[in-house]
Amino acid sequence: EAEVAQSPRYKITEKSQAVAFWCDPISGHATLYWYRQILGQGPELLVQFQDESVVDDSQLPKDRFSAERLKGVDSTLKIQPAELGDSAMYLCASSLGPQRVSNYGYTFGSGTRLTVV
Q: Give the residues lining the site for another protein (CB under 8 A).
A: 4, 31, 33, 40-45, 48, 55-56, 91, 93, 98-99, 101-103, 105-111
Q: Are 22 and 75 in contact (CB under 8 A)?
A: yes
CB closer to another protein, 76 vs 107: 107
CB closer to another protein, 15 vs 104: 104
CA distance 74 to 110: 15
Q: Are 44 and 57 in contact (CB under 8 A)?
A: no
CB closer to another protein, 22 vs 108: 108
> Residue 9 Cβ, how far from another protein at the closest point, in Å?
9
- CA angle at 78 for the pair 33 and 67, rounded to the nearest 5°: 40
- CA angle at 60 for the pair 55 and 61, rounded to the nearest 5°: 150
Dihedrals phi, psi of 93, to nearest 5 degrees: -140, 160
> Residue 41 Cβ, how far from another protein at the closest point, in Å?
6
> Residue 14 Cβ, how far from another protein at the closest point, in Å?
24
CB closer to another protein, 18 vs 55: 55
> Residue 51 Cβ, how far from another protein at the closest point, in Å?
14
